Structure 1
Amino acid sequence: MIKIQYISQGETPEQHLAHIGEACEAGCRWVQLRLKNVDMATYLNTALACRNICDQYGAIMIMNDHVSIAKASLADGVHLGLQDMNPKEARKILGENAIIGGTANTLEDCLHHIKDEVDYIGLGPYKYTTTKQKLSPILGLEGYQKIVLELSKQHANTPIIAIGGIELNDIEGILESGVQGIAVSGMLTGQGGLEEIIQNIRALI
């Protein structure tokens, strides 16, 4: 499994695409297109453009929330929030090979997703982040440690991806808690020296 996911960020769809291109150029190979407050036509057109960028670099493309857009744009999968479509329903639409992730904030959320056979769980937020509205309670290292320990007791092996305000100096401690990867947004958005940042992340992972 690829262990670094870039969640797109920007004021406009064009900015999202530019930042995705920059992240891919710098070596990121797992992208989640996360547009908010745009109409479906704009979302689809942006998704198709994102698909083209990801194809150029051999990157995995995941859509946030919208299963229909994921299918229409030939995305590799979808990331679903707790209030979105059930992962099993999404898999029926997207096919058995689709990568389906789910957002979680608690042990109960994780167990629910595991029951629904997601491919990975995006667990967070690690700390405060401005990239998401209606932020769930912050977990911090202690929260990750408790949840991962409980999951290990239940022999759960669905990969856990940490998310939410993560910076480079946070990564080593997060990984020591037992999670399998990280999702980042602000750390890679519009930053200089992206290739070095991604190399540093990989060295820690």
Structure 2
Amino acid sequence: MTTLQYISQGESPQEHLQHIGEACEAGVRWVQLRLKDMDPATVLNTALKCREICDQYAAVMIVNDSVSIAKASQADGVHLGLEDINPKEARAILGDNFIIGGTANTLQDCLKHKNDGVDYIGLGPFRYTNTKKKLSPILGLEGYQKIISELKNDIHIPIVGIGGIEKNDISEILETGINGIAVSGMLTDKEDLEERIETIKKLMVNKLEAKG
């Protein structure tokens, strides 16, 4: 699974698509389209355009929250929040070839996702982020360490750190046993995007290789 994920951000659908295109051009190969408080027709139209961009760069496309839009736009998968449809129901609708991710904030969330058959878990938030309105309790490094250590023998699903992560956090986050990171603000509308992504990827590869 790709270890660097970009979660889209923008004031409008057009800005989301612009930022997705810029991130893909600069080297991102996993995109989550995250449109909030927009009508389904707008989200679907944006998702179809996002599919075209991701196809151009051979990038994985994940839709946030909506199983129906993920299916209609021929996305590669869907990322489900704790209050969204159950992953088992999503699997029944989407089939075995779709990627299903789930948000988690606690050990119990992770174990439930394991039982529900998700393909990866987005564990967070790492720190405060203003990209999410209903923010779960902040985990930080200690929270990651505690949950990952308790999961060691129970779960073998990739776990991705998410929520306010900055470049200087990556090394320490990966030391906890986290498999990858999902970022938004760090890669949105930045001038040095290609260099930034290359640095992040090298950092992650070195850390994961060092762990064995």
TM over 0.5: yes
**How many angstroms apart in 2 are the aligned matches of 1:196 and 1:175?**
20
Q: Could you say what secondary structure the match of 1:43 adopts? A: helix
Match of 1:24, SS state, is helix
Q: Counterpart of 1:21?
A: 21
Structure 1 letter corresponding to 2:159: I
Per the alignment, residue 34 of structure 1 pairs with 34
In percent, how many aligned pairs have the same letter?
71
TM-score if structure 1 supplies the norm length?
0.99
What residue ranges of structure 1 are gaps of 5+ in the alignment? none
Distance 2:22 2:32 in 1: 14
Superposed CA offset, 1:169-194 (max 9, x none): 00000000000000000000001111
SS in 1 for 2:173: helix
Secondary structure, aligned partner of 2:121: strand
Cα distance in 2 for residues equivalent to 1:90 and 1:177: 30
Paired with 1:182 and 1:197, the residues of 2 have a C-alpha distance of: 14
Which residue of structure 2 aligns with residue 165 of structure 1?
164
Give, as a single letter, the amino acid of the residue that structure 2 aligns with 1:191.
K
Aligned residue for 2:209?
A: none
Code of the residue aligned with 2:139 in structure 1: it is L
1:188-203 residue pairs with structure 2 within 5 A? 188-203=187-202
Q: Does 1:93 align with 2:93?
A: yes
In the TM superposition, 1:24-173 aligns within 5 A as 24-154=24-154, 156-173=155-172
RMSD (Å) for aligned C-alpha atoms: 0.5
Q: Does 1:204 find its partner at 2:211?
A: no
- Equivalents in 2 of 1:140, 1:84: separation in Å? 24
Per-residue CA deviation, residues 139-188 of structure 1 (Å, 9 max, x unaligned), is 0000000000000032x101100000000000000000000000000000
Partners of 2:152 and 2:84 in 1: how far apart? 27
Which secondary structure does the structure 2 equivalent of 1:62 belong to?
strand
Separation (CA, whole Å) in 1 of partners of 2:153 and 2:51: 39
Residue equivalent to 2:173: 174
TM-score normalised per structure 2: 0.95
Tell me the matched-pair count: 204
Deviations 1:78-112 (A, max 9, x none): 00001101111111111101000000000000000
Measure, in 2, the Cα distance between the counterparts of 1:93 and 1:134: 27
